Structure 1
Amino acid sequence: MAHAANFLEMRSVSKEFFGNHVLTNVNFAMQRGEILGLVGENGAGKTTLMKILFGMPVIQQTGGFSGEILLEGKPVNFASPLDALDAGIGMVHQEFSLIPGFTATENIVLNTESLTYNIIVELFGDRLKNLDTSKNTQRAQAAIRKLGVQLDPQMLVSEMPVGHKQFTEIARELDRQNIKLIVLDEPTAVLTESEADILLHSIRALAAEGIAFILISHRLQEIMDVTHRVLVLRDGSMVQDVRTADTSITQIAEWMVGRELHQTINVQGTDFTDRACGEPLLQVENLWVDMPGETVRNVSFVAHKGEILGIGGLAGQGKLGIPNGIMGLHVAGGNVRFKGKSVPLNDPRAPLDLGFAFVSEDRRGVGLLLEEPLDWNIVFTAMQTQNKYLKRYLGGWLTWRDEAALERVAQEYIQALEIKCTSPKQLAQELSGGNQQKICLAKAFALEPELLFVSEPTRGIDIGAKKIVLDTLRKYNQERCVTIVMISSELEEMRSVCDRIAIVDEGRIVGILPASAPSTEFGKMMVGRGGV
């Protein structure tokens, strides 16, 4: 395509976060009415690229970006999302930004409401204009009609099912008069199959009217069904820009998960048959978990004593729901047995008492006491559930923290995990993300568990910290015979430490293979094209 025909271009776009390269020399262009599919593994840089395009504050707050954006042939650099909206670019994020106490109509027209004059306005000025309720309702209904969905304009967001909230978000963008491009970040992740079909049909119809779309999705069949071209990001670089008609789901999956030879992590001793793992330790049957965005529908698997079992899959398919459900953090049902005994569900204390530990994917929200010192973070759960690191007085009537034991165990883990800090008394919130993750691991190890769930252990941390975290997991597994169930979006990292890897798709395990199996086989399972 000639540059003059391009509606949008991003040229040589690069971005660093605190010295970590997340985007490197990314280039692409698109025309009006074109639907681009933007795909890649978690952490590939998809959302960051769109945040740059949309002028999100986090980009400016972290040093900006290098490269150039051209809209209709003219250079632009949006200082804020408001600038992007004024230029006709809208974005629907994965996280909803609706006001729960407002109706669909009120959310759709928010900040652009139609107003009406009255006599008081003539006396006291425009501030006393009234909302034109009829006009606003008409606008909302028109935007909803464009989507072809049944949605009550007067329903409160707080009362909506999650799919209707997603449609309300998209209708808000369609209500904008000058909308030219809409970025949709995983728009069907929370939709039912029928709702997703309605949305994809609407995207095609709106594109035919000249609105361009960038669709970020892990559902590759949808990418094949609705897009004109597919862009594949891997490790922050654009590795493919291809017409959808010229590729396939299998090919896209290989581009997403493939690694150049020099990038591949050395996989050692990862074949399940190579190690003498013991008898079944954890048996999960027909597990379902109601975790928003990570629903588990029917999962069954067995983890053996001394094994490192990986659980992978694309975002939103349910892998994160598995440990959260078993550990009692989200409503769950089914049958879970540990060493032959039933594990009570929906009771966060029960698995801890049985010898479980959990490193959550949400280290800031669930994993850490951010305003407390490191030593307190490390020992808190063990102290609360196992009465460790306490001194007892008066025959046990009085207990107090054993400060010497606290410092001793904190120093042990700070040294073992190479945690960069000023002292065990430094506050957790002052550490980098990688060091916070190491504190979460230390907290779990302090419980001396028999079974450790560790969810997204390397998310958001640099390469050096990743190696330490993975080496530590392998060390504790081998030296202390801790059985580990590792849930991760990073396939190559799981292949480097796990014995077997299960892949979750649409809330179910579609296959389990030795970690030494080719990465493309796992890629096929992720998109429903393989498995055992």
Structure 2
Amino acid sequence: MSYVLEMKGISKSYYGNQVLKNVSISVGEGEVLGLVGENGAGKSTLMNILFGMPVIHSTGGFEGEIIFNGQKVNIDSPLKAMELGIGMVHQEFMLLPGFTVTENIKLNREITKPNFVSQMFGKRLETLDMPTMRQEARNALDTIKMHSIDELELIARLPVAHKQFVEIAREIDKKSLKLLVLDEPTAVLTESEAENLLNVIRLLSEKGIAIIFISHRLHEILEVAHRIVILRDGMLVAEGKKEEFTIYQIAEKMVGRKIENVELPPRKKEIDEKNVIMSIKHLKVHMPGEEVRDFSIDIREGEILGIGGLAGQGKLGVANGIFGLYPAEGEVTYNGKEFQLNSPLYSLRNGIVYVSEDRRGVGLLLDESVEMNIVATAISAFNMFTKKFLGLTIYDRKAIREHAVKLIHELDIRCKGPTQPVRRLSGGNQQKVCLARAFTLNPKLLFVSEPTRGIDVGAKKLVLDYLVKLNREHGITIVLTSSELAELKSICDRIAIVAEGKVSAILPPTASDVEFGLAMAGEVKEVNVK
């Protein structure tokens, strides 16, 4: 087979963290390559390299080489990728809602015609040839059998599925298209819409267009891919013809990895299944990119409950919605009483604390000191660490310093002292400051999202050990959301996997990699609610 694309020995690091390690893939003319892997496996980084995205070149570039149509190429921008004949349909729509379908399909490739003014002053003043543009847009839509989409309709008025097909039609309209990358194109589609899209993939393949198809729905990969490549932890762990794989084998290879053991001390009080601290029913959270559609679970007092799932499936939306950072609706009770959604202050005053996944954007005051970051929320919400002086409320500097020094020591926060600005700490130590702030609030229920994202292995262990300590010694109920399944399996009592905004399965940490992989892919039909 002659290859349209070969990526050889691709390696990439972000700030010392290696996210791709000597990965090589290839795809031939008319071939559909299924690319699968867990969150953080390196799929998006590999495709960003292929498409010349600025994030790659602004962070030091990459190692390895790209050969396209038999020639070694330097793809340093998306424009260069498009000139070569590479198209990409991203997870997030790249459409202009106030423009028509035709205008979006022909964007930056508009067809113009001369007029009286342009004949005098030059081509720049030519007018749009709308009939020709409309006809070409119609042809592109008809090619993918989307006869029901009106080429003059505004994008804003289209249903989600139609927007996805307009994205594909835009790429098809590029006459030089040789390779099309589809990144989770069915994530927002219903089953029947997804089937239509799979038919489009088959159609494009028959026309000789090479396709890289990324999907968390493993049955779709097996339906349309000719070959499958599986990434895990930035490495290629398996590849072969689709006939060589089953869904179970793909799932196992996606998530199977050695689990770092965290020492779990005994509890002072065993968990009672009937003792529910928070009951969540039919929760919906409108968090862009992490929409929660119908999430239900009972959180048992004293447990560490894990929430996992693939990117964009809603796992991050749960804690953000409960704490009130994004609009939420549903039936939630806390300690047997109705819980007020959409109010962070209400949550805090009822002993519910949230450590956000966005520690730099939400969790920290980067230019303030370590000690002020630790006590800031306690001061603003509860007037802790303050005292009266001549009728004025002022900071109790002595109490702040003593408390900060105690937690710096307890959490092993590596800093020059309590007055050092948080901005100058490493990612792992910034995360520990977030946890110190949360513990300062004396939580009864602690939501923690992605606590070890972007930090080294040693710091990860300290953070996880501290969460276990809070749970075991202080009886704090913890809901831990993480993209790293190994992390969840190492300290959680139960793990709820979220797929398409709902609980796909609730599994014990001892469940097999296959069971977790299938749950993440939404392949589990019955939910174990115990």
TM-score where L is the length of structure 1:
0.90
CA distance in 2, matches of 1:322, 1:61: 33
CA distance in 2, matches of 1:324, 1:268: 29
What's the counterpart of residue 332 of structure 1? 328
Determine if the alignment matches structure 1 residue 388 to structure 2 residue 384.
yes
Indicate the SS of the match to 1:330: coil
What's the counterpart of residue 198 of structure 2? 200
CA distance in 2, matches of 1:428, 1:142: 56
Indicate the SS of the match to 2:437: helix
Deviations 1:372-415 (A, max 9, x none): 554444333222222223333455xx323344444444444444
Indicate the SS of the match to 2:375: helix
What's the counterpart of residue 77 of structure 2? 80
What's the counterpart of residue 240 of structure 1? 238
The verdict on how the C-alpha distance between 1:71 and 1:461 changes in structure 2, with shifts beyond 3 A counting, is: same
Question: Which one-letter code corresponds to 1:489 in the other structure?
Answer: S
Which residue of 173, 176, 179 maps to 1:175? 173
How far 1:176 moved relative to its partner? 1.4
Kindly report which structure 2 residues correspond to 1:51-200, keeping only aligned pairs within 5 A, or say none. Answer: 51-149=48-146, 150-200=148-198
Question: Which one-letter code corresponds to 2:188 in the other structure?
Answer: V
CA distance in 2, matches of 1:104, 1:198: 19
Q: Which moved more, 1:398-407 or 1:458-467?
A: 398-407
CA distance in 2, matches of 1:270, 1:509: 29
Indicate the SS of the match to 1:95: coil
Indicate the SS of the match to 2:314: coil
Determine if the alignment matches structure 1 residue 8 to structure 2 residue 5.
yes
Q: Which moved more, 1:459-468 or 1:152-161?
A: 152-161
The verdict on how the C-alpha distance between 1:31 and 1:275 changes in structure 2, with shifts beyond 3 A counting, is: farther
Deviations 1:335-391 (A, max 9, x none): 222221211123332222211011222334433344555444433322222222333
What's the counterpart of residue 523 of structure 1? 517
Deviations 1:229-251 (A, max 9, x none): 11100111101112112211111
8 Å Cα contact 1:270-1:516 kept in structure 2: no
Which residue of 354, 358, 365 maps to 1:358? 354
8 Å Cα contact 1:284-1:299 kept in structure 2: yes
How far 1:36 moved relative to its partner? 1.0
Which residue of 472, 481, 497 maps to 1:478? 472
CA distance in 2, matches of 1:133, 1:332: 43
8 Å Cα contact 2:262-2:465 kept in structure 1: no
Kindly report which structure 2 residues correspond to 1:13-24, keeping only aligned pairs within 5 A, or say none. Answer: 13-24=10-21
Aligned-pair identity (%): 54
8 Å Cα contact 1:413-1:442 kept in structure 2: yes
8 Å Cα contact 2:88-2:182 kept in structure 1: yes
What's the counterpart of residue 210 of structure 1? 208
Q: Which moved more, 1:102-111 or 1:401-410?
A: 401-410
How far 1:519 moved relative to its partner? 2.9
The verdict on how the C-alpha distance between 1:86 and 1:415 changes in structure 2, with shifts beyond 3 A counting, is: farther
CA distance in 2, matches of 1:21, 1:376: 33
Q: Which moved more, 1:105-114 or 1:153-162?
A: 153-162
Question: Which one-letter code corresponds to 2:25 in the other structure?
Answer: F
Indicate the SS of the match to 2:315: coil
How far 1:429 moved relative to its partner? 4.9
How far 1:43 moved relative to its partner? 0.7
Question: What is the number of residues matched between the two proteins?
Answer: 523
8 Å Cα contact 1:9-1:29 kept in structure 2: yes
8 Å Cα contact 2:366-2:422 kept in structure 1: yes
Indicate the SS of the match to 1:201: helix
Deviations 1:40-88 (A, max 9, x none): 1111111111111111122222222111211111111211111111000
The verdict on how the C-alpha distance between 1:152 and 1:434 changes in structure 2, with shifts beyond 3 A counting, is: farther
CA distance in 2, matches of 1:364, 1:99: 30
8 Å Cα contact 2:230-2:236 kept in structure 1: yes
Question: Which one-letter code corresponds to 2:315 in the other structure?
Answer: K
How far 1:483 moved relative to its partner? 0.7
Indicate the SS of the match to 1:484: strand
What's the counterpart of residue 42 of structure 1? 39
Question: Which one-letter code corresponds to 1:82 in the other structure?
Answer: L
The verdict on how the C-alpha distance between 1:437 and 1:176 changes in structure 2, with shifts beyond 3 A counting, is: farther
CA distance in 2, matches of 1:322, 1:490: 17
8 Å Cα contact 1:270-1:514 kept in structure 2: no
Output the aligned Cα RMSD.
Answer: 2.6
- Structure 2 unaligned runs (5+)? none
CA distance in 2, matches of 1:122, 1:424: 71
Indicate the SS of the match to 1:7: strand
What's the counterpart of residue 280 of structure 1? 276
How far 1:482 moved relative to its partner? 1.2
8 Å Cα contact 1:13-1:24 kept in structure 2: yes
Indicate the SS of the match to 2:281: strand
The verdict on how the C-alpha distance between 1:457 and 1:142 changes in structure 2, with shifts beyond 3 A counting, is: farther
8 Å Cα contact 1:163-1:190 kept in structure 2: yes
Kindly report which structure 2 residues correspond to 1:220-299, keeping only aligned pairs within 5 A, or say none. Answer: 220-259=218-257, 263-266=258-261, 268-269=263-264, 276-278=270-272, 279-299=275-295
Question: Which one-letter code corresponds to 1:338 in the other structure?
Answer: Y
Determine if the alignment matches structure 1 residue 454 to structure 2 residue 448.
yes
The verdict on how the C-alpha distance between 1:163 and 1:74 changes in structure 2, with shifts beyond 3 A counting, is: same
8 Å Cα contact 2:262-2:461 kept in structure 1: no
CA distance in 2, matches of 1:271, 1:512: 23
- Structure 1 unaligned runs (5+)? none
Question: Which one-letter code corresponds to 1:241 in the other structure?
Answer: E
Kindly report which structure 2 residues correspond to 1:438-449, keeping only aligned pairs within 5 A, or say none. Answer: 438-449=432-443
The verdict on how the C-alpha distance between 1:145 and 1:419 changes in structure 2, with shifts beyond 3 A counting, is: farther
CA distance in 2, matches of 1:223, 1:120: 53
How far 1:28 moved relative to its partner? 1.8
What's the counterpart of residue 29 of structure 1? 26
CA distance in 1, matches of 2:358, 2:215: 22
What's the counterpart of residue 508 of structure 1? 502
Indicate the SS of the match to 1:320: helix
How far 1:267 moved relative to its partner? 5.7
